[in-house]
Amino acid sequence: MEQTLSIIKPDAVAKNVVGKILSRFEDAGLRIAATRKMQLSQADAEAFYAVHAERPFFKDLVEFMISGPVVVTVLEGDNAMAKNRDLMGATNPKEAEAGTIRADFAESIDANAVHGSDSVENATNEINFFFAQKEIC
């Protein structure tokens, strides 16, 4: 069964909509195989977003991701990676389709409520970044 990584970002955790977002995943047929609330360190956030290290928004992105706790989740199901990306909507919530998580819960391209792995290969790496095998069940 395909797996992908979701992060409910600090803005959505602060808004107290963790349960509402997790319900979107379950309602779409995805299963929660692992989940944890945690506070990322600067080193965690820099390592997780290393692919964006050269981008102009990298420093702001890291600062935002450590501005409060996040909820990291392994989602499992048919086409889990693509299904999660569909549920999330476009990176910029102003461009996100109605009914998507970002359209409904996000304010800006920086504070955009959720992260989702963007390929099955990255999903495996991102899941291993946060979870031990015995935590995924």
| Chain residues in the site for Mg ion (CB under 5 A) | 118
Pick the closer one to ligand ATP by CB: 31 or 52. Answer: 52
Tell me if residue 52 is catalytic: no
Candidate residues 20, 118, 120, 124; the one interacting with ligand ATP per rule CB under 6 A: 118
Query: Distance (Å, rounded) from C-alpha 48 to C-alpha 101?
Result: 22
In angstroms, rounded to a whole number, what is the distance separating the alpha carbons of residues 85 and 114?
A: 10
Alpha carbons 123 and 80: distance in angstroms, whole number: 10
**DSSP SS3 for 27:** helix
Cβ 6 vs Cβ 73: under 8 Å: yes
Site string for ligand ATP, 43-82 (x = CB under 6 A): ---------x----x---x---------------------
Active site residues: 115
Q: Which residues bind ligand ATP (CB under 6 A)?
A: 52, 57, 61, 91, 109-110, 112, 115-116, 118
